[in-house]
Amino acid sequence: MLAIAIFLVAAQINGGATAQSQPSFKTWLESFWTDAERAGITRATFDRAFAGVEPDLALPDLILPGKQEPRPGGQAEFSRTPEQYINREQIARLAKQGRELAARHKAILDRVEQQVSVDRAAVLAIWGRETAFGSHRPRHDVIRVLATQAYTGRRPDLFRGELIFALRLLQEGIVARNDMRGSWAGAMGLTQFMPSEFYGSGIDLDGDGKLDLFGSTADALGSAARQLQQKGWIKGLPWGIEVKLGPKVDCANEGPANSRPIGEWAKLGVTRANGKPFAPDLLKHDAYLMSPAGAFGPSFLATDNFKAIRAYNMSDLYAVFVGHLADRIAGGGDFKTPWRDVRQLPDRDIAEIQSKLKQRGAAIDKIDGKIGSNTRWQIGQYERRARIDVGCWPRQEVLEHLRKGVADVR
Protein backbone atom coordinates (compact mmCIF):
# COMPACT_ATOMS: atom_id res chain seq x y z
CA MET A 1 0.00 0.00 0.00
CA LEU A 2 2.86 2.43 0.48
CA ALA A 3 3.35 2.64 -3.29
CA ILE A 4 -0.31 3.59 -3.76
CA ALA A 5 -0.05 6.44 -1.33
CA ILE A 6 3.18 7.72 -2.86
CA PHE A 7 1.42 7.80 -6.24
CA LEU A 8 -1.45 9.79 -4.79
CA VAL A 9 0.22 12.32 -2.55
CA ALA A 10 3.03 13.30 -4.90
CA ALA A 11 2.08 16.59 -6.47
CA GLN A 12 4.49 16.87 -9.33
CA ILE A 13 3.21 15.72 -12.68
CA ASN A 14 5.87 13.68 -14.42
CA GLY A 15 5.86 13.44 -18.17
CA GLY A 16 2.20 14.21 -18.80
CA ALA A 17 0.94 13.12 -22.19
CA THR A 18 -0.78 15.50 -24.56
CA ALA A 19 -2.96 15.04 -27.56
CA GLN A 20 -0.03 16.04 -29.74
CA SER A 21 2.69 13.88 -28.18
CA GLN A 22 1.01 10.77 -26.81
CA PRO A 23 1.72 7.64 -28.83
CA SER A 24 -0.92 4.97 -29.36
CA PHE A 25 -1.14 2.34 -26.63
CA LYS A 26 0.15 -0.27 -29.07
CA THR A 27 3.20 1.87 -29.86
CA TRP A 28 3.79 2.54 -26.17
CA LEU A 29 3.50 -1.16 -25.39
CA GLU A 30 6.18 -2.06 -27.91
CA SER A 31 8.51 0.52 -26.41
CA PHE A 32 7.79 -0.91 -22.97
CA TRP A 33 8.75 -4.36 -24.24
CA THR A 34 12.33 -3.10 -24.48
CA ASP A 35 12.35 -2.37 -20.74
CA ALA A 36 10.68 -5.67 -19.92
CA GLU A 37 13.16 -7.66 -22.00
CA ARG A 38 16.05 -5.85 -20.35
CA ALA A 39 14.58 -6.88 -16.96
CA GLY A 40 14.58 -10.53 -17.97
CA ILE A 41 10.94 -10.92 -18.99
CA THR A 42 10.39 -13.40 -21.81
CA ARG A 43 8.33 -12.57 -24.86
CA ALA A 44 5.99 -15.44 -24.01
CA THR A 45 5.28 -13.97 -20.57
CA PHE A 46 4.85 -10.50 -22.06
CA ASP A 47 2.41 -11.61 -24.75
CA ARG A 48 0.40 -13.74 -22.31
CA ALA A 49 0.12 -10.83 -19.88
CA PHE A 50 -1.05 -8.29 -22.45
CA ALA A 51 -3.31 -10.46 -24.60
CA GLY A 52 -6.44 -8.40 -25.25
CA VAL A 53 -5.38 -5.60 -22.87
CA GLU A 54 -6.44 -2.04 -23.70
CA PRO A 55 -5.99 1.01 -21.45
CA ASP A 56 -8.73 1.70 -18.90
CA LEU A 57 -9.28 5.44 -19.32
CA ALA A 58 -11.94 5.49 -16.59
CA LEU A 59 -9.28 5.11 -13.89
CA PRO A 60 -8.47 8.02 -11.55
CA ASP A 61 -5.17 9.90 -11.59
CA LEU A 62 -4.73 9.91 -15.37
CA ILE A 63 -3.58 12.65 -17.73
CA LEU A 64 -5.86 12.34 -20.72
CA PRO A 65 -5.38 13.98 -24.13
CA GLY A 66 -7.25 17.26 -24.31
CA LYS A 67 -7.69 17.48 -20.53
CA GLN A 68 -6.02 20.29 -18.61
CA GLU A 69 -5.82 18.39 -15.32
CA PRO A 70 -5.47 14.74 -14.33
CA ARG A 71 -8.64 12.77 -13.72
CA PRO A 72 -9.25 13.18 -9.95
CA GLY A 73 -7.72 10.65 -7.60
CA GLY A 74 -9.97 8.04 -6.07
CA GLN A 75 -8.46 7.57 -2.63
CA ALA A 76 -11.00 7.97 0.16
CA GLU A 77 -8.27 9.10 2.57
CA PHE A 78 -8.16 12.42 0.73
CA SER A 79 -11.77 12.88 -0.32
CA ARG A 80 -13.75 12.28 2.90
CA THR A 81 -13.86 14.20 6.13
CA PRO A 82 -12.22 12.50 9.15
CA GLU A 83 -15.59 11.60 10.66
CA GLN A 84 -16.76 10.10 7.36
CA TYR A 85 -13.58 8.11 6.89
CA ILE A 86 -13.20 6.88 10.50
CA ASN A 87 -16.78 5.67 10.53
CA ARG A 88 -17.97 4.50 13.96
CA GLU A 89 -20.35 1.83 12.67
CA GLN A 90 -17.77 0.42 10.28
CA ILE A 91 -15.08 0.38 12.98
CA ALA A 92 -17.42 -1.40 15.42
CA ARG A 93 -18.39 -3.99 12.82
CA LEU A 94 -14.80 -4.68 11.79
CA ALA A 95 -13.64 -4.82 15.42
CA LYS A 96 -16.22 -7.51 16.20
CA GLN A 97 -15.08 -9.54 13.19
CA GLY A 98 -11.46 -8.93 14.12
CA ARG A 99 -11.93 -10.34 17.62
CA GLU A 100 -13.57 -13.45 16.17
CA LEU A 101 -10.71 -13.86 13.68
CA ALA A 102 -8.14 -13.33 16.42
CA ALA A 103 -9.51 -16.40 18.18
CA ARG A 104 -9.80 -18.44 14.97
CA HIS A 105 -6.28 -17.64 13.78
CA LYS A 106 -4.56 -17.64 17.17
CA ALA A 107 -1.81 -20.03 16.03
CA ILE A 108 -1.01 -17.86 12.99
CA LEU A 109 -0.99 -14.69 15.07
CA ASP A 110 1.25 -16.33 17.65
CA ARG A 111 3.77 -16.98 14.84
CA VAL A 112 3.43 -13.40 13.60
CA GLU A 113 4.32 -12.03 17.02
CA GLN A 114 7.09 -14.57 17.66
CA GLN A 115 8.77 -14.45 14.25
CA VAL A 116 8.12 -10.87 13.10
CA SER A 117 7.61 -9.03 16.43
CA VAL A 118 4.53 -7.10 15.35
CA ASP A 119 1.40 -6.98 17.51
CA ARG A 120 -1.42 -9.22 16.30
CA ALA A 121 -4.14 -6.57 16.52
CA ALA A 122 -2.20 -4.31 14.15
CA VAL A 123 -2.00 -6.88 11.33
CA LEU A 124 -5.64 -7.83 11.83
CA ALA A 125 -6.54 -4.15 11.51
CA ILE A 126 -4.54 -3.85 8.27
CA TRP A 127 -6.43 -6.86 6.91
CA GLY A 128 -9.74 -5.37 8.02
CA ARG A 129 -9.08 -1.97 6.50
CA GLU A 130 -7.67 -3.23 3.23
CA THR A 131 -10.16 -5.93 2.22
CA ALA A 132 -12.69 -6.21 5.08
CA PHE A 133 -10.96 -9.45 6.10
CA GLY A 134 -11.07 -10.82 2.57
CA SER A 135 -14.73 -10.11 1.84
CA HIS A 136 -13.95 -7.31 -0.62
CA ARG A 137 -13.54 -8.67 -4.15
CA PRO A 138 -11.37 -6.42 -6.30
CA ARG A 139 -12.64 -5.83 -9.81
CA HIS A 140 -9.64 -4.43 -11.68
CA ASP A 141 -7.23 -6.34 -13.91
CA VAL A 142 -3.89 -5.41 -12.35
CA ILE A 143 -1.91 -5.66 -15.60
CA ARG A 144 -4.41 -3.35 -17.30
CA VAL A 145 -4.35 -0.91 -14.37
CA LEU A 146 -0.56 -0.73 -14.19
CA ALA A 147 -0.19 -0.46 -17.96
CA THR A 148 -2.75 2.35 -18.10
CA GLN A 149 -1.06 4.29 -15.31
CA ALA A 150 2.35 3.76 -16.90
CA TYR A 151 1.01 4.82 -20.30
CA THR A 152 -0.93 7.95 -19.34
CA GLY A 153 -0.82 8.38 -15.55
CA ARG A 154 0.77 11.12 -13.48
CA ARG A 155 3.74 8.99 -12.42
CA PRO A 156 4.61 6.77 -15.37
CA ASP A 157 8.09 5.78 -14.15
CA LEU A 158 6.77 4.42 -10.86
CA PHE A 159 4.07 2.39 -12.57
CA ARG A 160 6.47 1.11 -15.23
CA GLY A 161 8.54 -0.31 -12.39
CA GLU A 162 5.50 -1.92 -10.76
CA LEU A 163 4.46 -3.37 -14.12
CA ILE A 164 7.87 -5.03 -14.47
CA PHE A 165 7.44 -6.57 -11.01
CA ALA A 166 3.94 -7.76 -11.97
CA LEU A 167 5.39 -9.50 -15.04
CA ARG A 168 8.01 -11.11 -12.81
CA LEU A 169 5.26 -12.42 -10.54
CA LEU A 170 3.65 -14.04 -13.58
CA GLN A 171 6.86 -15.40 -15.03
CA GLU A 172 7.99 -16.93 -11.74
CA GLY A 173 4.60 -18.48 -11.08
CA ILE A 174 3.99 -16.53 -7.87
CA VAL A 175 0.65 -15.19 -9.13
CA ALA A 176 -1.48 -16.67 -11.90
CA ARG A 177 -2.70 -14.32 -14.62
CA ASN A 178 -6.38 -14.87 -13.75
CA ASP A 179 -5.68 -14.06 -10.11
CA MET A 180 -4.24 -10.64 -10.90
CA ARG A 181 -7.25 -8.71 -9.66
CA GLY A 182 -6.70 -5.70 -7.48
CA SER A 183 -7.34 -2.05 -6.72
CA TRP A 184 -7.48 0.76 -9.25
CA ALA A 185 -3.81 1.44 -8.44
CA GLY A 186 -2.68 -2.20 -8.73
CA ALA A 187 -2.55 -3.51 -5.15
CA MET A 188 -3.42 -7.19 -4.70
CA GLY A 189 -4.11 -9.84 -2.09
CA LEU A 190 -5.72 -9.96 1.34
CA THR A 191 -3.55 -7.14 2.65
CA GLN A 192 -3.17 -5.25 -0.65
CA PHE A 193 0.44 -5.43 -1.76
CA MET A 194 1.84 -3.72 -4.82
CA PRO A 195 3.85 -6.12 -7.04
CA SER A 196 7.20 -4.79 -5.80
CA GLU A 197 6.09 -5.41 -2.20
CA PHE A 198 5.62 -9.12 -2.89
CA TYR A 199 9.39 -9.17 -3.31
CA GLY A 200 10.31 -6.64 -0.65
CA SER A 201 8.07 -7.82 2.20
CA GLY A 202 6.49 -11.14 1.26
CA ILE A 203 6.97 -13.99 3.74
CA ASP A 204 5.97 -17.66 3.49
CA LEU A 205 4.71 -17.86 7.07
CA ASP A 206 2.78 -21.10 6.61
CA GLY A 207 5.98 -22.80 5.39
CA ASP A 208 4.48 -24.54 2.37
CA GLY A 209 7.26 -23.35 0.07
CA LYS A 210 5.30 -20.71 -1.82
CA LEU A 211 4.16 -17.13 -1.23
CA ASP A 212 0.39 -16.81 -1.44
CA LEU A 213 -1.04 -13.44 -0.44
CA PHE A 214 -4.47 -14.32 -1.87
CA GLY A 215 -5.40 -17.62 -0.22
CA SER A 216 -3.03 -18.00 2.73
CA THR A 217 -4.04 -16.02 5.79
CA ALA A 218 -0.68 -16.85 7.36
CA ASP A 219 1.32 -15.51 4.42
CA ALA A 220 -0.84 -12.38 4.09
CA LEU A 221 -0.68 -11.50 7.80
CA GLY A 222 2.99 -12.40 8.07
CA SER A 223 3.81 -10.24 5.06
CA ALA A 224 1.81 -7.28 6.39
CA ALA A 225 3.65 -7.68 9.68
CA ARG A 226 7.02 -7.78 7.94
CA GLN A 227 6.20 -4.58 6.08
CA LEU A 228 5.31 -2.85 9.35
CA GLN A 229 8.50 -4.20 10.92
CA GLN A 230 10.55 -2.85 8.01
CA LYS A 231 8.93 0.54 8.54
CA GLY A 232 10.01 0.69 12.19
CA TRP A 233 7.28 -1.03 14.23
CA ILE A 234 8.07 -1.35 17.96
CA LYS A 235 6.18 -4.25 19.53
CA GLY A 236 4.05 -3.22 22.49
CA LEU A 237 4.18 0.52 21.80
CA PRO A 238 0.79 2.24 21.32
CA TRP A 239 0.32 3.76 17.87
CA GLY A 240 -1.05 6.89 19.50
CA ILE A 241 -2.64 8.24 22.65
CA GLU A 242 -5.77 10.40 22.56
CA VAL A 243 -5.08 13.58 24.51
CA LYS A 244 -6.49 16.86 25.78
CA LEU A 245 -4.23 19.76 24.84
CA GLY A 246 -4.46 22.25 27.70
CA PRO A 247 -3.85 26.03 27.68
CA LYS A 248 -0.24 25.97 26.40
CA VAL A 249 -0.77 23.71 23.37
CA ASP A 250 -3.21 23.83 20.48
CA CYS A 251 -3.49 22.15 17.08
CA ALA A 252 -0.95 24.61 15.65
CA ASN A 253 1.69 22.55 17.51
CA GLU A 254 0.98 19.60 15.22
CA GLY A 255 3.41 17.66 13.11
CA PRO A 256 6.58 15.57 13.06
CA ALA A 257 8.73 18.72 13.16
CA ASN A 258 7.38 19.36 16.66
CA SER A 259 8.09 15.87 18.01
CA ARG A 260 9.31 15.57 21.60
CA PRO A 261 9.26 12.96 24.40
CA ILE A 262 5.81 12.25 25.80
CA GLY A 263 7.13 13.36 29.19
CA GLU A 264 7.74 16.85 27.76
CA TRP A 265 4.20 16.99 26.35
CA ALA A 266 2.97 16.16 29.84
CA LYS A 267 4.99 19.07 31.28
CA LEU A 268 3.24 21.37 28.78
CA GLY A 269 -0.11 20.34 30.22
CA VAL A 270 -1.10 17.70 27.67
CA THR A 271 -3.10 14.95 29.40
CA ARG A 272 -4.69 11.69 28.35
CA ALA A 273 -8.26 12.13 27.17
CA ASN A 274 -9.47 9.34 29.45
CA GLY A 275 -8.07 11.08 32.52
CA LYS A 276 -5.54 8.36 33.32
CA PRO A 277 -1.83 9.19 33.74
CA PHE A 278 0.68 8.37 31.02
CA ALA A 279 2.35 5.01 31.66
CA PRO A 280 5.86 5.68 33.05
CA ASP A 281 7.52 3.54 30.38
CA LEU A 282 6.01 5.75 27.66
CA LEU A 283 7.39 9.07 28.91
CA LYS A 284 10.75 8.60 27.18
CA HIS A 285 9.25 7.80 23.77
CA ASP A 286 9.11 10.58 21.21
CA ALA A 287 5.71 11.51 19.81
CA TYR A 288 4.21 14.33 17.82
CA LEU A 289 0.82 15.95 18.04
CA MET A 290 -1.56 14.81 15.32
CA SER A 291 -5.03 16.35 14.97
CA PRO A 292 -6.65 14.82 11.85
CA ALA A 293 -9.58 17.26 11.93
CA GLY A 294 -7.62 20.16 13.37
CA ALA A 295 -9.46 21.65 16.34
CA PHE A 296 -12.67 19.90 15.27
CA GLY A 297 -12.05 16.41 16.59
CA PRO A 298 -9.78 14.23 18.71
CA SER A 299 -6.04 14.85 18.96
CA PHE A 300 -3.34 12.25 19.49
CA LEU A 301 0.27 11.90 20.46
CA ALA A 302 1.50 9.85 17.51
CA THR A 303 4.39 7.46 18.13
CA ASP A 304 6.82 5.61 15.88
CA ASN A 305 4.15 2.95 15.36
CA PHE A 306 1.82 5.58 13.90
CA LYS A 307 4.62 6.42 11.47
CA ALA A 308 4.96 2.73 10.58
CA ILE A 309 1.24 2.40 9.80
CA ARG A 310 1.31 5.67 7.89
CA ALA A 311 4.19 4.38 5.78
CA TYR A 312 1.98 1.42 4.80
CA ASN A 313 -0.40 3.96 3.26
CA MET A 314 0.72 7.59 3.32
CA SER A 315 -2.34 9.07 4.98
CA ASP A 316 -3.01 10.29 8.51
CA LEU A 317 -6.62 9.11 8.30
CA TYR A 318 -5.59 5.64 7.16
CA ALA A 319 -3.15 5.34 10.06
CA VAL A 320 -5.73 6.57 12.60
CA PHE A 321 -8.33 4.14 11.20
CA VAL A 322 -5.95 1.18 11.41
CA GLY A 323 -4.59 2.15 14.81
CA HIS A 324 -8.03 2.73 16.27
CA LEU A 325 -9.36 -0.51 14.77
CA ALA A 326 -6.41 -2.37 16.30
CA ASP A 327 -7.22 -0.85 19.70
CA ARG A 328 -10.87 -1.87 19.36
CA ILE A 329 -9.93 -5.43 18.36
CA ALA A 330 -7.73 -5.56 21.46
CA GLY A 331 -10.67 -4.49 23.65
CA GLY A 332 -10.39 -0.70 23.68
CA GLY A 333 -13.26 1.76 23.38
CA ASP A 334 -14.29 4.67 21.18
CA PHE A 335 -12.62 8.08 21.16
CA LYS A 336 -13.43 10.36 24.09
CA THR A 337 -13.52 13.51 21.97
CA PRO A 338 -16.35 13.71 19.41
CA TRP A 339 -15.88 14.78 15.81
CA ARG A 340 -17.41 18.13 14.95
CA ASP A 341 -18.85 18.98 11.55
CA VAL A 342 -16.22 20.10 9.07
CA ARG A 343 -16.58 20.65 5.37
CA GLN A 344 -14.21 19.04 2.91
CA LEU A 345 -13.26 21.76 0.42
CA PRO A 346 -12.56 20.76 -3.19
CA ASP A 347 -8.96 19.85 -3.94
CA ARG A 348 -8.48 23.03 -5.98
CA ASP A 349 -9.47 25.21 -2.99
CA ILE A 350 -7.16 23.32 -0.65
CA ALA A 351 -4.39 23.71 -3.22
CA GLU A 352 -5.11 27.45 -3.35
CA ILE A 353 -4.76 27.67 0.44
CA GLN A 354 -1.46 25.80 0.22
CA SER A 355 -0.24 28.06 -2.57
CA LYS A 356 -1.15 31.28 -0.78
CA LEU A 357 0.44 30.07 2.44
CA LYS A 358 3.60 29.20 0.55
CA GLN A 359 3.63 32.68 -0.99
CA ARG A 360 3.66 34.01 2.57
CA GLY A 361 6.70 31.92 3.45
CA ALA A 362 5.05 28.80 4.88
CA ALA A 363 7.10 25.60 4.65
CA ILE A 364 4.86 23.81 2.16
CA ASP A 365 6.69 21.57 -0.30
CA LYS A 366 3.72 20.14 -2.20
CA ILE A 367 0.76 22.04 -3.52
CA ASP A 368 -1.39 18.98 -4.06
CA GLY A 369 -4.83 19.76 -2.63
CA LYS A 370 -4.44 17.02 -0.01
CA ILE A 371 -4.96 17.62 3.72
CA GLY A 372 -1.99 16.34 5.68
CA SER A 373 -0.28 17.10 8.95
CA ASN A 374 1.96 19.78 7.50
CA THR A 375 -0.91 21.61 5.81
CA ARG A 376 -2.91 21.63 9.05
CA TRP A 377 0.14 22.86 10.97
CA GLN A 378 0.82 25.69 8.53
CA ILE A 379 -2.82 26.74 8.55
CA GLY A 380 -2.74 26.83 12.36
CA GLN A 381 0.45 28.89 12.35
CA TYR A 382 -1.13 31.36 9.91
CA GLU A 383 -4.29 31.61 12.01
CA ARG A 384 -2.21 32.36 15.10
CA ARG A 385 -0.27 35.12 13.36
CA ALA A 386 -3.39 36.59 11.77
CA ARG A 387 -5.17 36.48 15.16
CA ILE A 388 -8.15 34.54 13.86
CA ASP A 389 -9.68 31.44 15.46
CA VAL A 390 -7.16 28.60 15.33
CA GLY A 391 -8.82 25.63 13.65
CA CYS A 392 -5.93 24.05 11.70
CA TRP A 393 -8.34 22.96 8.98
CA PRO A 394 -8.67 24.27 5.39
CA ARG A 395 -11.91 26.14 5.96
CA GLN A 396 -13.65 28.56 3.64
CA GLU A 397 -12.97 31.31 6.18
CA VAL A 398 -9.23 30.70 5.93
CA LEU A 399 -9.36 30.74 2.14
CA GLU A 400 -11.30 34.03 2.09
CA HIS A 401 -8.87 35.59 4.58
CA LEU A 402 -5.94 34.58 2.37
CA ARG A 403 -7.69 35.84 -0.77
CA LYS A 404 -8.05 39.28 0.79
CA GLY A 405 -4.27 39.51 0.66
CA VAL A 406 -3.94 40.32 4.33
CA ALA A 407 -0.25 40.82 4.99
CA ASP A 408 1.50 38.10 6.93
CA VAL A 409 2.09 39.28 10.46
CA ARG A 410 5.22 37.36 11.36
Mean pLDDT in residue range 272-299: 97
Same-domain check for residues 64 and 144: yes
User: Which amino acid appears at position 221 of this protein?
Assistant: L
Same-domain check for residues 396 and 250: no
Residue 204 lies in a domain: no
pLDDT of the residue at 14: 38
pLDDT of the residue at 16: 40
Residue 328 lies in a domain: no
Residue 113 lies in a domain: no
User: 153: helix, coil or strand?
Assistant: strand
Last residue of a domain, one of 150, 173, 191: 191
Q: Residues 316, 291: contact at Cβ < 8 Å?
A: no
pLDDT of the residue at 67: 64
pLDDT of the residue at 68: 52
Mean pLDDT in residue range 261-270: 98
Under the banding of pLDDT at 50, 70 and 90, the label for residue 76 is low
Same-domain check for residues 64 and 184: yes
Q: What is the CATH number of the domain that holds 153?
A: 1.10.8.350
How many domains in the chain?
3
Same-domain check for residues 66 and 13: yes
Whether residue 354 has pLDDT greater than 60: yes
pLDDT of the residue at 49: 98
Under the banding of pLDDT at 50, 70 and 90, the label for residue 73 is low
Whether residue 209 has pLDDT greater than 60: yes
* Residue of 297, 332, 344 whose CA lies nearest to 91: 332
pLDDT of the residue at 65: 77
Whether residue 12 has pLDDT greater than 70: no
Same-domain check for residues 54 and 156: yes
Same-domain check for residues 155 and 297: no
Mean pLDDT in residue range 336-364: 94
Residue 97 lies in a domain: no
Same-domain check for residues 274 and 358: no
pLDDT of the residue at 9: 34
Same-domain check for residues 153 and 60: yes
Mean pLDDT in residue range 348-352: 95
Same-domain check for residues 151 and 39: yes
* Residue of 178, 187, 147 whose CA lies nearest to 164: 147
pLDDT of the residue at 78: 65
Q: Residues 116, 229: contact at Cβ < 8 Å?
A: yes
pLDDT in tens, 223-234: 999 999 999 999
Under the banding of pLDDT at 50, 70 and 90, the label for residue 75 is low
Residues 6+ apart with CB under 8 A from 314: 2, 5, 6, 8, 9
Residue 248 lies in a domain: yes
Residue 272 lies in a domain: yes
Same-domain check for residues 296 and 351: no
pTM (two decimals): 0.91
Residue 225 lies in a domain: no
Mean pLDDT in residue range 66-77: 56
What angle in degrees, to the nearest 10, is found between the helix axes of 156-171 and 142-152? 150
Same-domain check for residues 183 and 265: no
Residue 317 lies in a domain: no
Mean pLDDT in residue range 364-384: 94
Please, what is the average pLDDT of the chain? Answer: 91
Instruction: Provide the 10 A C-beta neighbour count for residue 80.
Output: 14
pLDDT in tens, 79-128: 789 999 999 999 999 999 999 999 999 999 999 999 999 999 999 999 99
Domain holding 7, by residue range, is 2-75+140-191
Share of the chain above pLDDT 90, in %: 85
Same-domain check for residues 295 and 354: no
Whether residue 8 has pLDDT greater than 50: no
